Structure 1
Amino acid sequence: MDELTRTVAERGDLAHLALFLWASGASALLVWTLRELATANRRFNAFVSEIAHLNQLFKRRD
């Protein structure tokens, strides 16, 4: 990676390197956010199904 950075700096393509790093960081952040959202969605679905289970238990008691 050090050689790649040196080559890019020598050619004057620092803007392209900065854009690549920004795009990589933004993409990684998007992937992380989507994973967290999927995990939160699974937890919420488990919560809702437990509430539905409790409602059925209380209906049977009546």
Structure 2
Amino acid sequence: MESILQVFATRGDLAHLALAAWALSASGVALAALGGLSRANERIDAFVRELARFNARHDDP
């Protein structure tokens, strides 16, 4: 890892290194947000399913 940083530093490609680090971190944050949205969707789906079961049990025929 040290040699890769040294190559970037000597060639003056620090902007590319910073851009790659930003892209990796942004991708990680996006994946974490997507996972959170997926879990929230599952919880809402379970709630709606239970609400439908409750309504089906307590409906007047």
TM-score scaled by structure 2?
0.91
Identical-pair percentage = 43
Q: Where has structure 1 moved over 4 Å in runs of 4 or more?
A: none
One-letter amino acid of the structure 1 residue matched with residue 8 of structure 2 = V
* 1:27-46 to 2 correspondences below 5 Å: 27-46=27-46
Q: In structure 1, what residue type is equivalent to 2:29? A: L
Unaligned runs of 5+ in 1: none
Matched length: 61
Structure-to-structure mapping, 1:1-62, within 5 angstroms: 1-59=1-59
1:1-30 CA distance string (max 9 Å, x none): 121111111111000000000011111111
TM-score, normalised to structure 1, is 0.89
Deviation at 1:44, TM superposition (A): 0.5
